[in-house]
Amino acid sequence: MDGRVCRVIYDSQEKEYAYGTKFLDIAREYHDQYRDDIILAVFNNKLWELNRTIEMDGELSFLTAADTKGRKAYRRSMVMLLEKAIYNLYGTSVKLRVMHTLGQGQYCELEGSAVCQELLDKIGAQMQKLVEADIEIRKNTIHTDLAIARFMECGMEDKAKLFQFRRSSHVNIYDMDGFQDYFYGYMVPSTGYLKYFDLLLYEDGFVLVFPYEDTKKTAVFETSKKLYHTLMEAAAWAKQMQIRTVGELNEQIVKGKVQDIILLQEAEMEKRISKIAEQIAAEKNKKFILIAGPSSSGKTTFSHRMSIQLRAHGLVPHPIGMDNFYVDREKTPLDENGQYDFECLEAIDMQLFDTTMEKLLNGERTELPHFNFKTGKREFKGEFLQLGQEDVLVIEGIHGLNDKLLSALPKETKFKIYISALTQINIDEHNPIPTTDGRLIRRIVRDAFMRGTSAEHTIEMWQSVRRGEERNIFPFQEQADVMFNSALIYELPVLKMYAEPMLFAIPTDSPQHMQAKRLLKFLDYFLQVPSEEVGRNSILREFIGGSCFHV
């Protein structure tokens, strides 16, 4: 402290603090005002860890474990706690690999040891000791070359390879009582914050379970077996390609293998689509192919490619968009903010949809509606359809898996497909790529090109989109007959050249600037790949343009 003071505005009140005061000390003053633990500070519209100090005047607020960014910091820090516990018990002979997010947990596997309940109990007890010790989690900035050398020494080859392709000459490393690792994102100030967790045996590994809505209680672990197996299939293919991490992908790009990667990925995807079409064709009674999934999963391109494969297997597909069955706009329900909720089930005229599909199933010649998005009205333009023996309907819409639709139709006439972009690769062995980040970047690029929407507006609306997915899509994913992963192992290096200028355009005083800055840091991990090599039928073309389909 050198006598200088900083003027800080908190909750419209101005206070003075000594230059160099930690955000952590200020947070303690206001701790009683919050139901949940304070995790991070927001100072002058920038995110700060609580161990950082104030060195200028500014406006301050806090994020808790209940906020999205606070929750992610908690979970990220918990992974380091798990790593440290394993290291204390087994040194470098047992290595942790963080694989996928499942429910409110992180699926993990161990290299060097079988996973059993006794082992998890020992690790959990060690984690609890570290929590009780309340060890500070310190951030140190070191030269990138030194970081590469350190991680090679301790067997973290994935991290060493990641940093070989970083432009920055320095990197931030976290230290927990001498144990060091790198993490993509912010951390809590000490292990004492990490009180709530559980370790559960699951399949070939285990799940580190976190709190969720009640931040002071571990969530009940619920997951989808189909989702797990879809994720593991993708991980197995990435391992076969020797591209499990961003560093390995960058290495292949440097070697000039991009075209091979693109061709192999697209061939692998076409093989999976063909396999689903073959399954549908083999079950002669399927008439309704229902495709549902979250935003920016590539549903439209997938439905076109599926239709081609269905034709190749002797069927006659007819694409139908569920959006054409919207109720007239003035009848659309409103959300909690008074805005039209186009994603709720009641935004669909369920009676008209069900009646139309029943008539078609019965072989009747039926007129199909079109929704005019400019007028907000449903219209009939004389488009009739009658199904023959080989005809099938390919229906795309977010409610396709909900049994409240088509409930009167025989179950054996329906085939349900859940599609989502489930990223195959991780940043490194301890930093998985959130699937929502991949979908958000897809949407930012598509909205700018196809709808003239700024990245700032897309990010602003993203939480509302995510809430709709949580209500209307994810609860029904297990009801799908098959799950399809639409993520492409090469897509983020291609999307990077489009997304970066859009994200840089978001002004620093925008509420969306923090998210933009985080995504820019994320994209900086990837070497750029030109889009010319991407095929015109690729799902990626739905977002960057140039598709051979009407998307």
What percentage of the chain carries pLDDT values higher than 90?
Answer: 90
Q: Please report how the helices 513-523 and 435-451 are oriented relative to each other, as an axis angle in degrees rounded to 10.
A: 110
pLDDT at 264: 96
Question: Average pLDDT in the 169-185 region?
Answer: 94
pLDDT at 224: 81
What percentage of the chain carries pLDDT values higher than 70?
Answer: 100
pLDDT at 457: 95
Evaluate the CA torsion angle 239, 240, 242, 245 in order and state its sign.
negative
3-state secondary structure of 511: coil
pLDDT tens profile 485-543 = 999 999 999 999 999 999 999 999 999 999 999 999 999 999 999 999 999 999 999 99
- Strand ordering across the sheet containing 95-102: 95-102, 105-111, 205-209, 198-202
**Distance, C-alpha 167 to centroid of its chain:** 26
Tokens 């195959």 found at: 424
pLDDT tens profile 433-444 = 988 999 999 999
pLDDT at 464: 87
| Tokens read off for 217 | 């209680």
pLDDT at 155: 87
Chain mean pLDDT for the chain: 94
Q: What does DSSP assign to residue 427?
A: E
Q: Which range, of 196-205, 217-226, 269-278, 301-310, averages the lowest pLDDT?
A: 217-226
pLDDT tens profile 78-129 = 999 999 999 999 999 999 999 999 999 999 999 999 999 999 999 999 999 9
For β-strands 288-292 and 391-396, DSSP reports them as: parallel
Tokens 């859940």 found at: 418
Rounded to two decimals, what is the model's pTM? 0.92
Q: Tell me how far CA of residue 411 lies from CA of 287, 318, 419, 536, in angstroms.
A: 10, 20, 20, 36
Q: Is the pLDDT of residue 1 over 60?
A: no
Question: Minimal CA–CA distance to 86: which of 68, 109, 105?
Answer: 109
**Distance, C-alpha 473 to centroid of its chain:** 14
pLDDT at 336: 83
For 483, residues 6+ apart whose C-beta sits below 8 A from its C-beta are: 226, 227, 230, 417, 418, 419, 420, 477
**Distance, C-alpha 452 to centroid of its chain:** 24
Q: What is the DSSP string of 84-148?
A: HHHHHHHTTSSEEEEEEEETTEEEEEEESS---HHHHHHHHHHHHHHHHHT-BEEEEEEEHHHHH
**Do 534 and 494 form a contact (C-beta atoms < 8 A)?**
yes
pLDDT tens profile 16-55 = 999 999 999 999 999 999 999 999 999 999 999 999 999 9
Q: What residue type is assigned to position 408 of the chain?
A: A
- Distance separating alpha carbons of residues 466 and 473, to the nearest angstrom: 10
Split at pLDDT 50, 70, 90, the class of 340 is: confident
- Distance separating alpha carbons of residues 445 and 539, to the nearest angstrom: 13
Question: Minimal CA–CA distance to 436: which of 456, 396, 397, 463?
Answer: 463
pLDDT at 21: 96
Q: What is the DSSP string of 2-46?
A: -S-EEEEEETTEEEEEETT-BHHHHHHHHGGG-SS-EEEEEETTE
Tokens 């060195």 found at: 55
| Tokens read off for 164 | 């070989």
Q: Is the pLDDT of residue 335 over 90?
A: no
**Distance, C-alpha 217 to centroid of its chain:** 24
Q: Is the pLDDT of residue 9 over 70?
A: yes
pLDDT at 168: 86
Q: Is the pLDDT of residue 337 over 90?
A: no
What does the chain come to in residues? 551
E strand or H helix at 391: strand 391-396
Q: Is the pLDDT of residue 427 over 90?
A: yes
Split at pLDDT 50, 70, 90, the class of 269 is: very high
pLDDT at 217: 96
Split at pLDDT 50, 70, 90, the class of 294 is: very high
Q: Is the pLDDT of residue 237 over 90?
A: yes
- Distance separating alpha carbons of residues 253 and 261, to the nearest angstrom: 9
φ and ψ at residue 142, rounded to 5 degrees: -130, 165
For 112, residues 6+ apart whose C-beta sits below 8 A from its C-beta are: 90, 93, 94, 95
| 3-state class percentages of the chain: helix first, strand second, coil last, to nearest 5 | 40, 25, 35
* 256 Rama sector, left if φ>0, alpha if ψ -120 to 50, beta otherwise: left
Q: What is the DSSP string of 302-351?
A: HHHHHHHHHHHTT-EEEEEEGGGGBPPGGGSPB-TTSSB-TTSGGGB-HH
pLDDT at 284: 87
- Distance separating alpha carbons of residues 94 and 205, to the nearest angstrom: 13
